[in-house]
Amino acid sequence: MRAAPSGLLLLVLLAACKEKEPDFDAQYDNTAKEIEARARKLDAKMNEQMQVMDRELEVRGMTTPPTTQTPAETTERN
């Protein structure tokens, strides 16, 4: 007789502990938000490191390479 109530109690506890798994869309949205947050952190860190490197080059009397073509480069290609 004691086995039946303890078995029933076990089933009730298991049912109460079981969490409902979120649906696919909710999981996808949460993961996308996490990835976006990590990407923003990484971009900020990389930007900070690039600024530090640029300052170091300026201290050494160097400059970063130009990002646009100089007039000499334009005439050489034509």
Under DSSP, the state recorded for 63 is -
Grouping H, G, I as helix, E, B as strand and the rest as coil, residue 23 is coil
Contact indicator for 21, 31 with CB cutoff of 8 Å? no
What are the structure tokens assigned to 36, written together? 């976006």
Please indicate, yes or no, whether the overall pTM of this predicted structure exceeds 0.75.
no
Domain range summary for the chain, segments of one domain joined by + = 24-60
pLDDT tens digits along 63-76: 766 666 666 665 55
Report the alpha-carbon distance of residue 70 to residue 5 in Å, rounded. Answer: 87
Q: What is the mean pLDDT of residues 5-22?
A: 76
The single residue listed with the structure tokens 């086995």 is: 3
